[in-house]
Amino acid sequence: MLDRLKELGREATAALQSAATLMELESVRVKYLGRKSELNQVSRGLKDLESDERRSVGRAVNELKNELGALLEQSKERLESAGEPSAGLDLTLPGRMPWVGGKHPLTRTYERLESIFRGLGFEVALGPDVEDDFHNFDALNIPADHPARDGWDTIYIDDDSLLRTHMSPVQIRVMESRKPPIRIIAPGRVYRNESADASHGSEFYQLEGLYVDRDVRFGELKGVLIRFMRELFGENVTLRFRAGFFPFTEPSTEVDVKCLICQGSGCSVCSGTGWVELLGAGMVDPRVFEAVGYDPGEFSGYAFGLGVDRICMMMTGTDDIRLFLENDLRFLRQI
């Protein structure tokens, strides 16, 4: 009798495990655990057995019932979660993809810069691309016929109108319209009459910053730029502040970052110098304050400017600035 039970157990286990549908499972249940099943009959016939045999068979029957019951639950769960299998899907076929768009790499770079400066308390200010001589030059202590103007290869519309050569005119416009404290960044497209090559374009993007308040120190300029660079390039970035010249700041500084590509040992990106010039900055020249009607004795401030294209190139390893305006989709998808 015990042998028979063992055999029954093996059969039932196999049937429960191989049931492929819930319906099949139900018929397996009826066959092996149902009212008319052999197991049930054995169970009912126990009372007719000798007491010794009754005890051993009874225990075996109970164990088997429990075991099969648990197995039935497992199989049920398995089949319920799988549901009915669909007919013949080749799951390895590619999915149907919707169109995926993307922002221009310069936009994404700019958004990164903007979010860092917003976190440092700067707001965004904008201005016209078509500027006048006063806002682009005169107010910035770059008088007509001064060699300093040679630094900007200007595209003119007429004697007074030109395409802005830097974002500084926005600083002037903001200062003309408001009183300090002012803390702005001015991002935008600038224009130079330069023939394009891998590292120069005639249209490119700059971001300038300006902070004007009482008693602004040079150390604050350094502090803000160091914070900015660390957020952008990571804590390990190394900066170098060099003396520089800009007509609209005094003192002026040029900020180099240790080349991120070669870590300072010299490569093509840094022209072998180990450093890449990334920023120009300085304390706002009092003559600029005079041009916008601020009292230089009362206010001081700092300004800085950087090339958005250059930062994007540095961060992505893009080696030709012209790619940004060519808009080859293979480039836009990649960067």
Partner 1 sequence: MVDWGSGSSTVVCGAPNVHAGMTSVLAPPGSVIAGGHRITEQTIRGRRSHGMLVSAQELGLEESSEGIIELDGIEPGGDVRSPLGLDDEIIDLDVQPNRPDCLGVIGVAREVAALTGSELRLPRIDLNEAGRTAADMASVKIEDPHGCPRYIARVISDVTIGPSPAWLATALRSVGSRSINNIVDITNFVMLEFGHPIHAFDYDRLAEHRIVVRRARAGEVMVTLDDVERTLTSEHLLICDGKNPVALAGVMGGADSEVSEATRNILLECAWFDPVVVRRGAWKLGVRTEASQRFEHGVDAHAMEMIAARASSLMAQLAGGKVAPGFVDAGTDGGAAPAITLDVRSVASMLGEDVGRDEIVAALTSFGFGVADGPDGKLTVDVPPHRADVTVEADLIEEVLRSRGYEDVPPEVPFHSIDVPPDAGVGARNRVLDAMVRLGFYEVMTTSFMSESASGRLGGSGVQGEPIVLSNPVNKEMPFMRTAIMPSLLDVVRRNRNVGEKDLRIVELGKVFWKDGDGLRERWALAGALSGLAGRHSWGETPRSIDFFDGKGILWALAEALDIDTPDTACYDGRLLDAGASAGFSVRGEGLGFLGMLSKKALAAWELPDPVFVFEIDLDRLCGFIPTAVEFKELPRYPKARRDVALVIGERSAAGDVLAAVEGLGEPLLVDAQVFDIYVGKQLPPGKKSLGFGLTYMSRERTLTDEEVDEAHSRIVSHLTREFDAALR
User: What part of residues 145-174 is at the interface with partner 1 (CB under 8 A)?
Assistant: 145-148, 150-151, 155-158, 161, 163
CA proximity to 29, closest of 59, 74, 63, 84:
74
Is there binding between residue 272 and partner 1 (CB under 8 A)? no
Kindly state whether residue 124 participates in binding partner 1, applying the rule CB under 8 A: yes
Q: How far apart are CA 327 and CA 104, in angstroms?
A: 9
Residue 293 in the binding site for partner 1 (CB under 8 A):
no
Backbone dihedral angles phi then psi of residue 23, each to the nearest 5 degrees: -65, -45
| Residue whose entry in the numeric block shows the structure tokens 């604050």 | 220
C-beta of 19 vs 131, nearer to partner 1: 131
Of 98, 234, 235, 236, the residue at the interface with partner 1 (CB under 8 A) is 98
Does position 278 interact with partner 1 (CB under 8 A)? The reply is no
What are the structure tokens assigned to 125, written together?
């200010």
Footprint on residues 250-269 left by partner 1 (CB under 8 A): 250-253
**Residue 166: half-sphere exposure toward Cβ, Cα within 13 Å:** 25
Instruction: Return the ∠ at Cα 85 (arms to 80 and 87), rounded to 5°.
Output: 165
Candidate list 137, 152, 191, 294; residue touching partner 1; CB under 8 A: 191
Widest Cα–Cα separation across the chain:
125
Q: Which is nearer to partner 1, 40 or 245 (CB)?
A: 245
Of 242, 271, 272, 334, the one binding partner 1 (CB under 8 A) is 242
Angstrom distance (rounded) from CA 305 to CA 310: 12
Q: 182 vs 257, which CB is nearer to partner 1?
A: 182
Q: And the tokens for 74?
A: 């497992």
Give the separation between CA 316 and CA 331, rounded to whole angstroms. Answer: 12
283 sits near partner 1 (criterion: CB under 8 A): yes
> Counting contacts by CB under 8 A, is residue 286 touching partner 1?
yes
| Least distance CB 169 / partner 1 (angstroms) | 14
* One residue of 3, 48, 93, 293 binding partner 1 per CB under 8 A: 93
201 and 325 Cβ atoms separated by less than 8 Å: yes
Is residue 136 a contact point for partner 1 (CB under 8 A)?
Answer: no
Q: Which stretch binds partner 1 (CB under 8 A): 51-59, 76-84, 246-254, 261-269?
A: 246-254
Query: Which phi and psi angles does 205 have, rounded to 5°?
Result: -120, 135
- Under the binding rule (CB under 8 A), the answer on residue 227 touching partner 1 is yes
Tell me if 245 contacts partner 1 by CB under 8 A.
Answer: yes
The residue within the footprint of partner 1, chosen from 220, 269, 273, 320 (CB under 8 A), is: 220
- Answer yes or no whether residue 104 interacts with partner 1 by CB under 8 A: yes
Q: Measure CA 26 to chain center.
A: 54
Contact flag: residue 109 with partner 1 (CB under 8 A): no
Between CA 106 and CA 272 the distance in angstroms is 26
In the structure encoding, which two tokens stand for residue 324, read together?
């940004």
| Tokens standing for residue 201 | 């374009």
Distances (CA, A) of 185 to 173, 297, 304, 335: 13, 24, 9, 25
Among 105, 97, 100, residue whose Cα is nearest residue 331: 105
Part of the chain binding partner 1 (CB under 8 A), chosen from 64-72, 177-185, 266-274, 314-322: 177-185
Choose one: 9-17, 25-33, 35-43, 319-327; the region binding partner 1 (CB under 8 A).
319-327
The tokens 């009826």 sit on which residue?
30
Does residue 169 have a cis bond before it (omega within 30 degrees)? no
* x-or-dash string of contact with partner 1, 9-48, rule CB under 8 A: ----------------------------------------
Binding-site size for partner 1 (CB under 8 A) equals: 82
Pick the piece of the chain touching partner 1 (CB under 8 A) from 33-41, 66-74, 78-86, 280-288.
280-288
